[in-house]
Amino acid sequence: MRKTTLIAGCALLMLAAGCKDKNTKDMDKDNPFIAGFNTPYNIPDFEKIKTEHYMPAFEEGMKRQKEEIDAIVKNPEAPTFENTIEAFEYSGELLNTVSGVFFNLTECENSPEMEAIAEEVTPLLSAHADDIALNAKLFARIKAVYEQKDSLQLNPEQMRLLEETYKGFVRGGANVPEEKQARFRELNERIASLTLRFAQNVLKATNAYSKKLDDGTEVTLQLPSWEPFMQTCPDRKLREELWHAYTDRCNGGEFDNTKIIDTLVNLRLERANILGFPTHADYVLDDCLAKTPQAVYSCLMQIWTPALKKAKAECAEYQKMLEKDEPGAKLQPWDWRYYSEKLRAEKYNLEDSVVRPYFALDNVLGGAFDVANRLYGLTFEPTDTLPTYNKEARCFLVKDSGNVIGILYMDFFPRKSKRSGAWMTEFRGQKVNQKGENVIPIIQVVCNFTKPAGDKPSLLNFDESETLFHEFGHALHGLLSKCHYPSLAGTSVPRDFVELPSQIMENWCRNKQVMKSYAKHYKTGEAIPDELIAKIAAAQTYGQGFINTELLAASLLDMDYHSITEKQSIDPNKFEQEHMDKIGLIPEIISRYKSPYFQHIFTTGYDAGYYSYTWTAILDHDAFAAFVESGDIFNPELAKKFRHLLESGNTVEPMTLYREFRGKDPSVKPLLKDRGLM
């Protein structure tokens, strides 16, 4: 039983007239969310936050926002931009604060107690959001302001906020007929709960397996452990065992996600239908640059065809290598990484063990910081005096011309409490508050790299180095934000645009000029030799058949799940196989993520959106080509234009921002050329 329940019981029993008030005040004083953070830059007071603080803070946050919404609705004055749109935009500050901390920490500091809170609060938050989205009186006021937008003399950002707020309410169900609202609420609650369970199952299944090898090494299903093993293990049966351990996660058993997928896909379709869309993909894409499923399929297929052709050629090479080792054997998915790495070493003499010593984590991080400095003048000052949620998380003051413009946390190593993969998020986004004061962002970058061992630092392979630059690009998008309204700031852009700031940074990571500045041998300090850079560059197009095919297969699978038009019983294994056969995926390759652990589309908000990595790859290659064509990859004029794109968030239509930077529409040719798919 929670403390708040006891307080309510005290009041109901009327044991003392002041019982509830006194205990509530004590609770507020002890709860850092409610009392406020007495910390530099108002950073969350991680060291004081306890698990028992979350539910009272969530409850108080929802209560306060409800009161703020009621005040808007009951305002006797006619609806205006200030008393309705701005008032709504700034509502829910406490709720946003506790949500920003809690849900980010469930991803990297999870525990049974955190899971229990998440399961309890998720349906409450879903209901709370629906109470707002389906508040007819609130929407009437928003609609009244929207209908007179042309006469309000709003500045461009205010106009954008008005349009996005109105659109958000429509997409949130404001026009759902009253007789369907109860079902709509139920759908939202069930979808939210199922996505949470899906993520918890993947984390538990990942942590549940480990394999002790004869040499004493332990292999886990975390990618920094699993992938090097698959690349280097000569024992084919052992590769097969580890392959199935990884790819069979959540496919039945204790942490089964197959039934969740069946339910979730159908619930999403039903919700889209209630909102007036034929499919969930149509609903999602209506708010993206792509706009329609047809546009997405067209984009993906123009790359799929050359990628699959190249993958088949790669497969034939690996098959020949396998036959030399095991005559008569047929190449299987668990062989691909092993022979790919073996052939890479033969073709380019580019073994992982030769590359990693030049990519010590701190050197790669310094390289990313240096690029941001040369492009945008930013500096990153390490500090150990600010609160942090884990001793492994590093904290930096981000400065522009000596002024602190943001706080950056970077959390690099695997833990059982952390989900796999790499991501950027924020504990607090940038905004201008109601007092007119700029509030700096608090950004978090999370990765899962190999930990240092003894005197040996964390050494990255080149793909991991690009991952660091990638997530750092997302961080720059949040850190450089110069917006007024929080819902338009930083990375709050369409999902098929949000990957542009991250993916373009990968181009600097692999540039020879930049690499020479940061890739230094961790023992000798020697800069990476030109010969090795040339091999890395030559190898960039190596394996691109596999890389693009597995990525595009996952993107197409995502679209296929969310383009169904009729409710149906879905067996994810059968569904996936049928749709991979339809596009001609060869059996030696599988989708980058098999359905039962495909968290992007069933947990983290990339449903009908996984295509965006490819969509924005066209943008990022075209954008970096502008720097190359100028003769200076740090061209100050272009850097200033791209910084404006980063600063603008969603205050301007994204493709307008892109065309202002590039001076033309993007071309797919730089992408195809760079990936060797021309």
Q: Where are the domains of the chain?
A: 1-30, 33-175, 357-507
How far is it, in rounded angstroms, from Cα 46 to Cα 624?
39
Q: 411 to each of 377, 466, 501, 520, how far by Cα in Å?
A: 24, 16, 20, 22
What fold does the segment set 33-175 form as a domain?
Answer: Glutathione S-transferase Yfyf (Class Pi); Chain A, domain 2 (1.20.1050)
What residue ranges of the chain have pLDDT lower than 50?
1-22
Q: 357-507: same fold as 33-175?
A: no
How far is it, in rounded angstroms, from Cα 186 to Cα 126?
9
Task: Say what the pLDDT of residue 21 is.
Answer: 43
Nearest to 479 by CA among 524, 434, 428, 533: 428
Helical H segments across 75-212, by residue range: 87-89, 93-108, 112-133, 136-147, 156-171, 178-207
Count helices and strands in the chain by DSSP H and E runs = 30, 9
First to last CA, the chain: 63
379: helix, strand or coil: strand
- The superfamily CATH assigns to domain 357-507 is Collagenase (Catalytic Domain) (3.40.390.10)
Task: Say what the pLDDT of residue 621 is.
Answer: 94
Beta bridge partners of 438: 432
Please count the CA atoms within 13 angstroms of the CA of 228 that sit on its side-chain side: 19
For 597, which DSSP code? G
Please list the active-site residues.
471
